[in-house]
Amino acid sequence: MENNQEKKQTVLSLIQPTGTPTLGNYLGALKNWKNMSDGYDCFFGVADLHSITVRPNPADLRRRTTEMYALLLALGLDPHKNTVFVQSHVPAHAQLAWILDCYTQFGEASRMTQFKDKSEKHPDNVNVGLFAYPVLMAADILLYQTDFVPIGIDQKQHLEITRNIADRFNGLYGNTFKLPEPFIGKSGAKIMSLQEPNKKMSKSDTNPKAFISVLDDDNTIMKKIKSAVTDSEARVYRKDGKDGVNNLMGIYSCCTGKSDEEIEKEFEILDESGTKAGCVRLKLNEILYFEYIKRSRKVLIALSDITYEYDCIFEKLVEELQPYDFVVNCRGNLVNLRHIEKIKGFIIYMDNGKELQIAQRRSNDFREEVNKFLQRNS
């Protein structure tokens, strides 16, 4: 009987048994593993051979390998839908790695950033296995004629060298290996440290508050999230430079499926008057003047007895407030004509006793606007 079922594309990914996976591992890789089970022919494994570059205790490595295998099943990988294996139990991984070693250039292997980083961190153990690590990874992938590899953004270099090695081998001996493609989730592909949000979340971090383990209980997770580094601004929105907030928004988005816009709306807490929490509703007629804060995108808002800071573009503010009797008196200053008590020379005397300067080159235009204002209100 002819089998008309279309052959599924192959997916492969491995994880090292170096400790309990973090939330970053789960959102960046393991969650995708589970979601891909129905649509692909999946091979998922515990990469115990990769772990021996740091010379672990054999008994500890065996225990961690077993625990990691069990954890993969607990996280939802169905062994009836997926091939779940231990790397060292399949000798072909190491065998193919040696063959590919002979088709990998020294220069391209030495340019791998992971080798450089780990060599600096462990200068007393810069071994050949660490140097050849990407080739073993290439063997893992090419052995199964893999179509897609779920990876984080920071791992693209390893997939690129895999494709280069396969392409070189195919050029010499014919179409032997498939050239794999990356599978990177739309969000959550790189979850950062909760304490240093410019660094990747890592289970080897010496600060336990920096990462969330998949085995952490609810209270522990809550404490770590609450102690996460953010910034001094009491607002939730995505912006360059707000690394801590951006990281937490990325985590929340991955866990809930919500967009940045939905998250910003959810955490836009309003007070009883309908004003955003942390903000103040001001009446234009109570504002004396605006003053641009140099080297920033902020202005100082001056009332009779208090000042506030406001994020905005000064030029746009001038344009928007022109119909409401606000006029530029000097560079970076926008004054409310309704609060001028008198003008003497190039000095403006405000009704709260504040004195402001009139720029000489703006004097004629400013006085003309004052006269128009007086005529309208006479």
Place of tokens 């088709």: 103
Domain boundaries, given as residue ranges, for the chain: 10-183, 284-376
Active site residue 203: yes
Per-residue pLDDT, averaged over 335-349, amounts to 93
Q: Rounded distance, CA 208 to CA 315, Å? A: 47
Q: Tell me what pLDDT residue 232 has.
A: 64
CATH number of 284-376: 2.40.50.1020
Got the DSSP string for 123-182?
A: TT---HHHHTHHHHHHHHHHTTT-SEEE--GGGHHHHHHHHHHHHHHHHHHSS-S---EE
Q: Tell me what pLDDT residue 1 has.
A: 44
Q: Tell me what pLDDT residue 178 has.
A: 96
Active site residue 242: no
Per-residue pLDDT, averaged over 158-170, amounts to 95
- In this predicted structure, the answer to whether residue 271 has a pLDDT above a threshold of 50 is no
Question: What is residue 63's three-state secondary structure?
Answer: helix
pLDDT digits (tens, 9 = 90+) for 28-55: 778 878 888 888 999 999 999 999 988 8
- What percent of the chain lies above the pLDDT cut of 90? 51
Catalytic residue among 31, 34, 190, 200: 200
- In this predicted structure, the answer to whether residue 241 has a pLDDT above a threshold of 50 is yes
Q: Tell me what pLDDT residue 112 has.
A: 83
Per-residue pLDDT, averaged over 200-213, amounts to 90
Per-residue pLDDT, averaged over 134-138, amounts to 95
DSSP 8-class letter at 338: G
State the chain's mean pLDDT as an integer: 87
Tell me how many degrees the CA angle 80-83-88 measures, rounded to the nearest 5: 140
Residue 226's pLDDT band, with cuts at 50, 70 and 90, is confident
pLDDT digits (tens, 9 = 90+) for 294-340: 877 788 888 887 888 788 888 888 988 988 999 999 999 999 999 99
pTM as predicted: 0.61
Per-residue pLDDT, averaged over 143-156, amounts to 85
Catalytic residue among 31, 34, 190, 203: 203
* CATH superfamily of the 10-183 domain: HUPs (3.40.50.620)
Catalytic residue among 31, 34, 118, 242: 118
Active site residue 186: no
- In this predicted structure, the answer to whether residue 147 has a pLDDT above a threshold of 80 is yes
Per-residue pLDDT, averaged over 162-172, amounts to 96
pLDDT digits (tens, 9 = 90+) for 246-268: 999 999 998 888 898 988 887 76
Listed in sequence order, the residues at least 6 apart from 241 whose beta carbon sits closer than 8 Å to its beta carbon are: none
